Amino acid sequence: MDLADLWFVAIAVLWTGYFFLEGFDFGVGMLLPVLGRTDEERGALIQTIGGVWDGNEVWLIVAAGATFAAFPLWYATMFSSLYLLLLAVLVALIVRGVALEFRGKGDSPRWRANWDRLLVAGSLVPAVLWGAVFGNIARGLPLDAEHVLRGGLGDLLNWYALVGGLVTVTLFLLHGALFLSLRTTGELQARARRAASRIGPLPVLAIIGFVAAIQAQRGTAATAVTGGLAVVALLGAWAMTRRWAGLGFVLTGTAIVAATATLFLASYPTVLPSTIDPAYDITVHNASSTDYTLVVMTWAAAIFLPIVLAYQAWTYWIFAKRIGAVQSPAAGGTASEEADASR
């Protein structure tokens, strides 16, 4: 394995970490109006992610930055070809972040209810569109010899994008429900467990369909194994929803890891397939930076990555206390201030 391959693996790990951590954030946001029946309950649900959501988004920034530095051609082609989808994701993430911080800035229940609606939308849109983005990457894009997209938005709204969106939104819903089962108490915890039990079959069916499509198009033994692992892990998570939420959460995390590995292994060493001609594919080696750049990046990662991981682990330890609706401040603060109140 050379440095280009190593950084391909590193970027896959970064995306996996982002989907694992931000996945339950999105799930909490989407479940907000379902599980939170009062303003106090919705405030308590937001407290569960109030101290960690912004740290979780750092994984996205690092994944995009690492792709830009290690594989500039891959970055440029992917972000220009999928510009509209990624722009919608960016706008939704901004709306979500503003909603989390501004929700508690007013005393009116109507004020908080409006920000709650934006929080739900800002969680749902990225949850769907990330699946659409990676569904298109798995299927391939109509790239010409200059690596320019020959098509429009209609070419991106295909069957792969639809099923990919169903995979991510249902998987994140289940992941979020199990996370809330671990972070809440009383009636909120009971509702979260019931929601997880009802959601459970949906990501199983979605992943079976998506993995079957990838396997039929360009699958290998590795994608069959990782895809099968994702399905088995989800079945186990569904079985654990009523009794052992902790194990169920670990299993949904395993499914996210396996599903992401399936996407990255499906066409390796190709990172962005062309549906026009395989000769126009973007691969790990024709897209990588110089060896000097990759060496510098490797040393920087070796020095700073352990520090960042240790800090994030400490953050989760600090905000590990279970939360009940009675702990939610009456008027609320920002998401971070509400999280501080729960410590």
The pLDDT tens digits of the residues spanning 59-87 come to 999 999 999 999 999 999 999 999 999 99
Token match 């989808």: residue?
85
Of 189, 132, 180, nearest to 155 by C-alpha is 132
Looking at residue 336, its pLDDT comes to: 52
Residue 159: what residue type?
A: W
What pTM, to 2 d.p., does this model score?
0.88
Looking at residue 22, its pLDDT comes to: 92
**CATH number among 1.20.1630, 2.60.40, 1.20.1060, 1.25.40, domain 3-270:** 1.20.1630
Looking at residue 334, its pLDDT comes to: 55
Domain ranges of the chain: 3-270
> Which parts of the chain have pLDDT scores under 70?
1, 320-321, 324-343
Looking at residue 64, its pLDDT comes to: 93
The number of helices, as runs of H, and strands, as runs of E, in the chain is 14, 2
CA angle 21, 23, 27 (to 5 degrees): 130
Looking at residue 1, its pLDDT comes to: 64
Pick left, alpha or beta for residue 244 (phi over 0 → left; psi -120 to 50 → alpha; otherwise beta).
beta
Looking at residue 256, its pLDDT comes to: 92
CA pair distance 297, 10, nearest whole angstrom? 11
